[in-house]
């Protein structure tokens, strides 16, 4: 059984009597341990798909099974629980809480999980060690660079040991070099056996992932647009610039 | 999510907007301060009133007052005898439930002079020695007049310290206490000898002040002019002031020497101003009064031209006044707390609008609606409680300021009860003010919150 199973999922918005199908009858399986990217032009519905996959939103039609749990009709409370335990999010704008310092930010998901103080601190430190930020524990997010902030966000996403990590344009707000470091981190996570799903419109990033899902007009495209997926570069013998994860 | 973390994050949130939080809290501060301050002042008033009540002579004292005859006895009105010594004798002889009868004949429009000094007593009354127990007087110097003085209508009097202060000088001003026994004074021009003086009556407040004055260093003698007093009237509260400005003389003295002009059928006007009685047992007040009434109806030939004024009635009046004061104080405090609450709600609404993104992030990380709800509510309550604590502190200041602005003889008393009520109410205000913002925040959808720019 796949980790994520989507069956005939649609998301329909009603805008002034007009019906807009942001997602139109999508069926999709993602296996545990897969490293895949969701690509597509803006407005294609890839963000909507990620929100639904990430249990941030519920589909209008269809069913979703995440790790064997039916989440399409789950209550808000159950969804919150699923997000907390099974999913880690990394956002384009980092979304760290500005009033909390680095450790407190990383501890936040564990607070919602009801984990006690000392274990929380220990696990937060471990996660921060992984992203190599143990020297900035007491800093506020505003005192960190973009790359550092995104690493804190990754540590936060990892800290509850989730099955899936979703990243929405994780390098979108970073310069190329920092973006590569972040991407290397995701690759490393994938190699450690985690399921990582990147949402991006950056072909260079899509090129890194073994599997690419292209969304076009709310449907999964039959054939991946090679230019969008960065495949044209691979074909031209121009490997995606990516430092090996160490 | 445990409460400690919630409160911790709440404090952080408040601390990160110090000035804004301070302004928001100010409404609650004012509300609590006015609540606690008001109740302190009312408590002080209440204490003063109770003290005065005792000073006027205990709960078992009843005053027989004149009353116009009832309508069905209108035709007998000109035969109404008024209060006379007949009533006093009758009560003493035939009302065993009445323990003490004290007739009083007031000399009106009195000016007492000694040399160039003049004073006007609050009461200048001809009395029996029973008055001492009746009005709870304590003779400190000299003696009270006896039956001989009464029989002879001797020109002797017993005075309160206030009269002494006016005619001979205050101990504070003179530097020593003058005890004017044997001195002559003129009461409306007639010479009287002072044979006794009461103790100085004072409320707790004045007693405290005197204690302090004793401890304080002597005044700098170079200070020019007399010492001014703050506010109106004198120190000590009206009841005590009144009691200190008393002049008592034998009943017959008052009658023969001052009522001579108002004769009726060749007999000096025999009517008494007051008959005060004390009942044997306060618990049987009703029965005692009924008995006194029966006796008086006899001596008044059935004309009901009298009524009983009990201290209980006065107590009722006092508690009614206190209740009114409480109510108005409570309304003012309630309104300011309400305004404070609206301020908190306003700022919480603005705050969650600012933090839509943060709230969305928290929800994406697994916060439930309840977590968010509790978080916002806790912030609001923390704001209100901080305000309440500051308000209690401010109430001490407020009470001092109010005491300066309008000096009363009764120092305000801040009660723990008032503080508890103040803090409790602000917690309530905090909860109700936080409710709507908290519900709004809890209902935010994570994606809407994340999209919000």
Q: B interface mutation test: which of A79, A108, A120 has the most B CBs within 10 A? A: A108
Q: Does B107 score more than 80 pLDDT? A: yes
Q: Between these two residues, A27 and B404, which has the higher pLDDT value? A: A27
Q: B interface mutation test: which of A47, A49, A99, A154 has the most B CBs within 10 A? A: A99
Question: Residue B68's pLDDT is what?
Answer: 85
Separation between Cα atoms, residue A135 and residue A149, nearest integer Å: 13
User: Looking at the partner chain, which of B365, B445, B446 has a beta carbon nearest the beta carbon of A109?
Assistant: B365
Band of pLDDT at residue B233, cut at 50, 70 and 90 = very low
Neighbouring C-beta atoms of residue B407, cutoff 10 Å: 16
Band of pLDDT at residue B84, cut at 50, 70 and 90 = confident
Give me the mean pLDDT over the A174-200 stretch: 87
Q: State whether A77 and B368 contact (CB < 8 Å).
A: yes
CB A229 within 8 A of CB A203: yes
Band of pLDDT at residue B201, cut at 50, 70 and 90 = confident
User: Looking at the partner chain, which of B5, B13, B366 has a beta carbon nearest the beta carbon of A84?
Assistant: B366
Q: State whether A95 and B361 contact (CB < 8 Å).
A: yes
Question: Residue B231's pLDDT is what?
Answer: 40
Write down the domain spans for chain B.
3-53+317-451, 60-215+232-313
Q: Using an 8 Å CB-CB cutoff, list chain B residues near A76.
A: 368-369
Whole-Å CA distances, B356 to B73, B442, B451: 83, 11, 9
First to last CA, chain B: 28
Q: State whether A81 and B368 contact (CB < 8 Å).
A: yes
Separation between Cα atoms, residue A59 and residue B363, nearest integer Å: 18
Question: Residue A245's pLDDT is what?
Answer: 41
Give me the mean pLDDT over the B185-195 stretch: 93
Separation between Cα atoms, residue A224 and residue A70, nearest integer Å: 29
Q: Does B318 score more than 80 pLDDT? A: no
Question: Residue B270's pLDDT is what?
Answer: 80
Give me the mean pLDDT over the A133-146 stretch: 88
CB B441 within 8 A of CB B372: yes
Give me the mean pLDDT over the B315-327 stretch: 82
Q: State whether B370 and A51 contact (CB < 8 Å).
A: no
Per DSSP bridges, beta strands B117-119 and B156-159 are: unpaired
Question: Residue B434's pLDDT is what?
Answer: 92
Tokens of B268: 């000096």
Separation between Cα atoms, residue B337 and residue B429, nearest integer Å: 7
Please report which helix (H) or strand (E) contains residue A7, including its range: strand A4-15
Q: What is the mean pLDDT of chain B?
A: 84
Question: Residue B90's pLDDT is what?
Answer: 92
Whole-Å CA distances, B248 to A172, B145, B177, B179, B197: 100, 9, 21, 16, 10
Q: Using an 8 Å CB-CB cutoff, list chain B residues near A77.
A: 368-370
CB B251 within 8 A of CB B150: yes
User: Looking at the partner chain, which of B2, B357, B365 has a beta carbon nearest the beta carbon of A108?
Assistant: B365
Whole-Å CA distances, B256 to A159, A241, B82, B252: 105, 127, 18, 6
Q: Using an 8 Å CB-CB cutoff, list chain A residues near B362.
A: 97, 108, 112
The set of residues, in sequence order, having a beta carbon less than 8 Å from that of B404 and lying 6+ positions away, is none
Neighbouring C-beta atoms of residue B357, cutoff 10 Å: 18
pLDDT in tens, A16-37: 888 888 888 888 898 888 898 8
Separation between Cα atoms, residue A26 and residue A8, nearest integer Å: 5
Instruction: Please report the sign of the dihedral spanned by the C-alpha atoms of residue A168, residue A174, residue A180, residue A185.
Output: negative
Q: Does B313 score more than 80 pLDDT? A: no
Question: Angle at CA B81, nearest 5°, toward B80 and B85?
Answer: 160
Q: What is the mean pLDDT of chain A?
A: 84
Question: Residue B409's pLDDT is what?
Answer: 59
Give me the mean pLDDT over the B363-372 stretch: 89
Question: Residue A218's pLDDT is what?
Answer: 84
Whole-Å CA distances, B78 to B131, B198, B270, B294: 30, 40, 16, 21
Q: State whether B366 and A109 contact (CB < 8 Å).
A: yes
Q: State whether B366 and A97 contact (CB < 8 Å).
A: no
**Reduced to 3 states, what is the DSSP secondary structure of residue B136?**
coil
What is the percent of chain A with per-residue pLDDT over 90, rounded to a whole number? Answer: 5
The set of residues, in sequence order, having a beta carbon less than 8 Å from that of B329 and lying 6+ positions away, is B34, B35, B38, B39, B41, B42
User: Looking at the partner chain, which of A83, A85, A98 has a beta carbon nearest the beta carbon of B364?
Assistant: A83
Q: State whether B13 and A77 contact (CB < 8 Å).
A: no
Question: Residue A246's pLDDT is what?
Answer: 41
Q: Does B261 score more than 70 pLDDT? A: no
Whole-Å CA distances, A202 to A38, A39, A50, B145: 10, 8, 16, 114
Helix, strand and coil percent figures for chain B, each rounded to 5: 60, 15, 25
Identify the structural domains of chain A with CATH numbers, from first to last. Answer: 33-55+81-235 (3.40.50.300)
Helix B356-364 with B311-354: angle, nearest 10 deg: 80
For residue B14, give the chain A residue with the closest CA. Answer: A99
User: Looking at the partner chain, which of B2, B358, B370 has a beta carbon nearest the beta carbon of A97?
Assistant: B358
Whole-Å CA distances, B88 to B29, B99, B258, B324: 59, 12, 20, 39
pLDDT in tens, B145-166: 988 999 999 999 999 999 998 8
Band of pLDDT at residue B439, cut at 50, 70 and 90 = very high
CB B150 within 8 A of CB B131: no
Per DSSP bridges, beta strands B246-250 and A219-220 are: unpaired
Q: State whether A95 and B369 contact (CB < 8 Å).
A: no
Q: State whether A114 and B1 contact (CB < 8 Å).
A: yes
Taken as a whole, chain A contains a residue count of: 246
Q: Between these two residues, A227 and B107, which has the higher pLDDT value? A: B107
Question: Residue B433's pLDDT is what?
Answer: 92
Distance (Å) from the alpha carbon of B9 to chain A's nearest alpha carbon: 8
Q: Does B237 score more than 90 pLDDT? A: no
- CA-wise closest residue to B403 among B394, B411, B395: B411
Q: State whether A56 and B16 contact (CB < 8 Å).
A: no
For residue A47, give the chain B residue with the closest CA. Answer: B447
Distance (Å) from the alpha carbon of B370 to chain A's nearest alpha carbon: 9
The set of residues, in sequence order, having a beta carbon less than 8 Å from that of A152 and lying 6+ positions away, is A94, A96, A102, A105, A106, A128, A131, A133, A141, A144
CB B204 within 8 A of CB B236: no
Q: Does A221 score more than 60 pLDDT? A: yes
Q: Left if phi > 0, otherwise alpha if psi is -120 to 50, otherwise beta: which for A43?
A: left
For residue A158, give the chain B residue with the closest CA. Answer: B365
User: Looking at the partner chain, which of A89, A112, A156 has a beta carbon nearest the beta carbon of B367?
Assistant: A112
Return the residue matching tokens 């200190």: B244
Give me the mean pLDDT over the A227-234 stretch: 64
The 8-class DSSP code of residue B310 comes to: E
């Amino acid at each position: 059984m796949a980790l994520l199973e989507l069956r005939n999922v649609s998301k329909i918005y009603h805008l002034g009597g007009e019906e807009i199908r942001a997602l139109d009858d999508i069926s999709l399986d993602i296996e545990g341990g897969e490293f895949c990217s969701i690509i597509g032009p803006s407005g294609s519905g890839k963000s909507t798909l990620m929100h639904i996959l990430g249990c941030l939103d519920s589909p209008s039609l269809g069913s979703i099974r995440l790790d064997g749990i039916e989440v399409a009709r789950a209550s808000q409370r159950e969804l919150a629980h699923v997000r907390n335990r099974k999913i880690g999010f990394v956002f384009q704008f980092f979304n760290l809480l500005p009033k909390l310092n680095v450790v407190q930010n990383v501890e936040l998901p564990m607070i919602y999980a009801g984990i006690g103080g000392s274990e929380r601190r220990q696990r937060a430190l471990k996660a921060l060690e992984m992203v190599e930020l143990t020297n900035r524990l007491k800093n506020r997010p505003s005192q960190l660079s973009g790359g550092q902030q995104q690493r804190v966000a990754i540590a936060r996403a990892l800290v509850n040991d989730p099955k899936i990590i979703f990243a929405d344009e994780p390098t979108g707000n970073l310069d190329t070099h920092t973006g590569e470091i972040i991407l290397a981190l995701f690759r490393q996570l994938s190699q450690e056996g985690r399921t990582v799903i990147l949402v991006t419109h950056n072909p260079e990033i899509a090129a890194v992932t073994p599997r690419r899902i292209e969304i076009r007009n709310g449907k999964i495209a039959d054939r991946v647009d090679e230019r969008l997926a960065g495949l044209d570069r691979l074909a031209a013998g121009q490997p995606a610039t990516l430092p090996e994860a160490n | 999510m445990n409460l400690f973390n919630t409160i911790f994050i709440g404090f952080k949130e408040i601390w990160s907007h110090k000035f804004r939080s301070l302004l928001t809290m100010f409404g609650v501060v004012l509300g609590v301060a006015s609540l606690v301050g008001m109740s302190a002042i009312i408590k002080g008033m209440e204490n003063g009133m109770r003290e005065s009540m005792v000073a006027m002579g205990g709960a078992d004292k009843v005053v027989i007052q004149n009353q116009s005859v009832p309508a069905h006895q209108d035709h007998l009105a000109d035969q109404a005898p008024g209060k006379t010594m007949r009533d006093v004798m009758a009560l003493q002889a035939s009302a065993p439930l009445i323990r003490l009868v004290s007739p009083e004949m007031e000399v009106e429009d009195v000016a007492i002079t000694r040399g160039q000094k003049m004073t006007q007593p609050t009461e200048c009354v001809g009395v029996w020695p029973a008055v001492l127990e009746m009005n709870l007087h304590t003779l400190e110097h000299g003696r009270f007049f006896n039956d001989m003085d009464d029989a002879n209508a001797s020109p002797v009097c017993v005075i309160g310290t206030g009269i002494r202060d006016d005619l001979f000088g205050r101990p504070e001003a003179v530097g020593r206490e003058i005890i004017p026994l044997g001195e002559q004074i003129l009461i409306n021009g007639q010479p009287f000898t002072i044979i006794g003086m009461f103790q100085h009556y004072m409320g707790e407040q004045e007693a405290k002040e005197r204690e302090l004055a004793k401890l304080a260093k002597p005044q700098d003698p170079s200070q020019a002019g007399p010492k001014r007093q703050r506010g109106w009237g004198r120190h000590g509260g009206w009841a005590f002031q009144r009691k200190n400005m008393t002049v008592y003389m034998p009943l017959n003295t008052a009658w023969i020497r001052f009522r001579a002009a108002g004769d009726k059928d060749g007999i000096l006007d025999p009517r008494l101003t007051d008959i005060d009685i004390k009942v044997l047992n306060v618990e049987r007040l009703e029965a005692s009064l009924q008995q006194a009434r029966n006796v008086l109806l006899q001596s008044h030939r059935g004309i009901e031209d009298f009524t009983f004024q009990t201290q209980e009635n006065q107590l009722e009046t006092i508690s009614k006044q206190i209740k009114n004061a409480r109510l108005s104080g409570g309304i003012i405090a309630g309104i300011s707390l309400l305004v404070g609450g609206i301020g908190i709600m306003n700022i919480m609404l603005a705050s969650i609008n600012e933090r839509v993104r943060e709230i969305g992030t928290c929800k994406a990380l697994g916060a439930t609606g309840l977590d968010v709800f509790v978080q916002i509510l806790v912030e609001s309550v923390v704001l209100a409680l901080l305000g309440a604590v500051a308000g209690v502190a401010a109430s001490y200041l407020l009470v001092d300021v109010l005491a300066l602005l309008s000096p009363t003889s009764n120092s305000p008393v801040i009660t723990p009860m008032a503080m508890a009520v103040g803090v409790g109410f602000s917690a309530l205000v905090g909860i109700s003010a936080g409710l709507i913002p908290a519900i709004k925040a809890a209902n935010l959808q994570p994606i809407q919150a994340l999209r919000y720019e």
